[in-house]
Amino acid sequence: MIPDLGYLALLMAFGTAVFAAVSAFYGSRTNQPRWTESARNASIATFPLIAIACLLLIYSLVTGDFSVEYVWRVSSLEMPTYLKITALWGGQAGSLLFWNFLLAAFTAAAMARNWSKQRDLMPYAIMIASFTQIFFIAISAFVENPFARLAVIPPDGNGLNPLLRHPGMIIHPPMLYLGFVGFTIPYAFAMSALITGKLDDVWIKITRRWTLVAWLFLSLGLILGGRWAYDVLGWGGYWGWDPVENASFMPWLAGTAFLHSVMIQEKRHMFKMWNMILILLTYLLVVFGTFVVRSGVISSVHSFAQSAIGPLMFGFLAFMLILTVALLFIRAKDLRSENRLNSFLSREAAFLYNNFLFLAILLIVFLFTNYSIITELFIGEQIFVGPPVYEQALAPLFLLLVLLMGVAPLTMWYRTSAQRIGMSLRWPALAALVVVGVLIAMGIRRWGALLGVWGVTFSLILTILEFWKGTRARMKRGENAWTAFSNLMARNRRRYGGYWIHFGVIVMAFGIIGVEVFQEQTQIRLTVGETASLGRYEMQFLGATRYPGPDDLIITEATVDVYDNGRYVGQLNPRTELYTRTQQPMTIPNARSTIAEDFYVLMVNWEPTSADQATFRIYLNPLINWVWAGGIIFVIGTLIAAWPDPSVERALARRPRTAVAPTD
């Protein structure tokens, strides 16, 4: 009964989404606002219907209704309740339903909030957003039905994939999905602007916060995914250039470029075509990323198994791509900038360089991610691109981005004197050079690392100086240092929130340099009592034990003592887990963490023979925790930038509105 009600709610949500799209189209064509009003109400009503379907599926998971195929696949009687709830996104069908729930929530909130601000854009925004919703609900209802029944009810389920039981995977998918579906809103309004020909910056102002919120969630998803990979996958690092990781990273790159670029349109009425292309590209990359994850077309540790939805997803992507390109072509003349670039040394030029760099990185990641498909098409053989190739190709571009991040705030609108920029950059460049000199004196000779440290230090100094100059200007008005700094943040949240984001990126960059350039690793087989050394650390193997864990897990746990320059600093317990129902193994590392580095240990294999031997893979990861610390600063900066400013809200409220008078 409960699954039937859930499926009925899903079908009703499909019906309301179809009604919203059709009535929005009819209302726009006949100029009858009451139809558009009905479309808006229907798009809002889709959300509670999807929510009911989700709640009923969660109820089936918690109560162990194994007559439902999805419940049988992803849960078991022994699973704790919190894992049964999060199993909603632990498989293909459930995660698609959860995706629909988040998309419906974003759409309903956007339609309710923006309705009174721009009525002429709303019919088309509803139509585009509802069309996206229709497709994904149709996938859930007719292809990957989460309420499908089994002919024979089994006594217990398969249980959740062990890789998904980590706390990071409880939070990571919702954050990532929120980022993905959130970009549907700015895409819908951008398409509305193209359809109606209203190509000023109104659609950007309407969707600015929606875009920033979506970007924040996508950023959180990437950071949490990196932490999950570090803690569970045993890669020894935070990023492996896995195709599914890249599928999430690519829309982030396009969205980041868009968030920078829109400021030029608002200030100088330039980059209209750039901004339209970037936000449309972001949405299309979201759909492409979803296709990669759920089709199984590219092999990945993250992706779902091959599914029938692959061709459907590809067809939807192709249709939206053709529609988008067609509208861009039709409106190309109207998207010309009102002003021209006056100087290659200006803030406008700096943002243009920023766009070029982001798109260059995006293009390289896209080509390398799909390289196996390309080679299979042309030579009949799949060839995959490994992390070293990515790093060699992208490192110079990322360094240029970091440098531009520090230099861009020093530029002026319209034109900047080369002499002025040179004077501003001279002392930070010399100070960064001193840091490099210290590293050389300490014995570091890797030119790539030295160049990276110079660039990141240079940008760090310039970013700190921006905070200092603003605070000092307020202190001259009589404010004390803390009051001046606080008021600086409060009065210009968008600007200084952006600087905090830059600061977080710089901290992460130091961590990335530390891991990518100075990481040490070794693999060794040890008998109980033997030791292994890496860097200044020494590890002694004390033995291993095997015991049953919860929910049909067999856990093999090693015990090792760790010494730092001969001084005992603690004990680690790396382990392996075997989920006996599916015979799926996992290798769970353990690390001794400090602000400077991680001593990271994996037990690859244990041989309980008379010799009692185990094979370990050991990593020394310098500055790895700076990556996570920088991520926290990054998120704080985004919250500052996105936090509502009452003065701006009042100004927007006083703005004349373009509206269509409602009729009774």
Tens digit of each residue's pLDDT (9 = 90 or more) over 488-503: 888 888 889 989 999 9
Name the percent of the chain lying above pLDDT 70: 94
- CA 500, chain centre distance (Å): 18
- Could you tell me which residues are beta bridge partners of residue 561? 540, 571
What tens digit of pLDDT does each residue of 418-456 get?
A: 888 888 899 999 999 999 999 999 888 888 899 999 999
Tokens of 594: 């400090």
Q: In what order do the strands lie in the sheet with 590-593?
A: 520-527, 613-622, 597-607, 590-593
- pLDDT score at 658: 41
What tens digit of pLDDT does each residue of 275-321 get?
A: 999 999 999 999 998 888 776 666 555 445 556 788 888 899 999 99
Report d(CA 598, CA 600) in Å as an integer: 6
Every domain of the chain and the residues it spans: 1-165, 176-191+199-319+330-337+351-397, 398-516+630-639, 520-624
Q: Stretch 591-596: mean pLDDT, rounded?
A: 93
Burial of residue 514, with CB atoms counted within 10 A of its CB: 0-12 exposed, 13-18 middle, 19 or more buried: buried
Read off the DSSP letter of residue 242: -
Indicate whether 649 pLDDT > 60.
Answer: no
- CATH T-level assignment (fold) for domain 520-624: Tick-borne Encephalitis virus Glycoprotein; domain 1 (2.60.98)
Which backbone phi and psi does 229 adopt, to 5 degrees? -60, -40
| pLDDT confidence tier of residue 117, bands split at 50, 70 and 90 | low
Report d(CA 55, CA 425) in Å as an integer: 57
Q: Stretch 591-616: mean pLDDT, rounded?
A: 88
Indicate whether 273 pLDDT > 70.
Answer: yes
What tens digit of pLDDT does each residue of 23-45 get?
A: 999 988 888 888 988 999 999 99
Nearest one of 77, 104, 78, 100 to 88, comparing CA atoms: 100
Task: Classify strands 597-607 and 590-593 as parallel, antiparallel or unpaired.
Answer: antiparallel
- pLDDT score at 39: 92
Contact in structure between 223 and 370 (CB atoms under 8 Å): no
What tens digit of pLDDT does each residue of 151-201 get?
A: 899 998 888 888 787 777 778 889 999 999 999 999 999 999 999 988 888
| pLDDT confidence tier of residue 399, bands split at 50, 70 and 90 | very high
Nearest one of 128, 390, 399, 167 to 283, comparing CA atoms: 128
Read off the DSSP letter of residue 408: G
Angle between the 387-407 and 347-369 helix axes, to the nearest 10 degrees? 170
* Lowest-pLDDT range of 13-22, 197-206, 336-345, 433-442: 336-345
* Lowest-pLDDT range of 114-118, 212-216, 383-387, 591-595: 114-118
Higher pLDDT, 379 or 23: 23
Report d(CA 540, CA 561) in Å as an integer: 5
Q: Stretch 204-232: mean pLDDT, rounded?
A: 89
- pLDDT score at 256: 94
Contact in structure between 495 and 260 (CB atoms under 8 Å): no
Contact in structure between 246 and 291 (CB atoms under 8 Å): no
Tokens of 21: 């799209």
Report d(CA 31, CA 36) in Å as an integer: 9
The residue ranges of DSSP E strands in 550-630, in sequence order, are 553-564, 567-572, 575-579, 584-588, 590-593, 597-607, 613-622
Nearest one of 572, 498, 577, 487 to 532, comparing CA atoms: 572
- pLDDT score at 307: 62
- pLDDT score at 290: 86
Name the percent of the chain lying above pLDDT 90: 55
Average pLDDT, whole number, for the chain? 88
- pLDDT score at 659: 39
Q: Stretch 206-230: mean pLDDT, rounded?
A: 90
Contact in structure between 450 and 399 (CB atoms under 8 Å): no
- pLDDT score at 647: 53
Nearest one of 566, 590, 586 to 577, comparing CA atoms: 586
Nearest one of 398, 180, 361, 193 to 275, comparing CA atoms: 193
- Could you tell me which residues are beta bridge partners of residue 571? 561
Tokens of 245: 């990781």
Nearest one of 20, 2, 13 to 141, comparing CA atoms: 13
Q: Stretch 63-89: mean pLDDT, rounded?
A: 91
Indicate whether 392 pLDDT > 50.
Answer: yes
Nearest one of 540, 524, 547 to 608, comparing CA atoms: 547
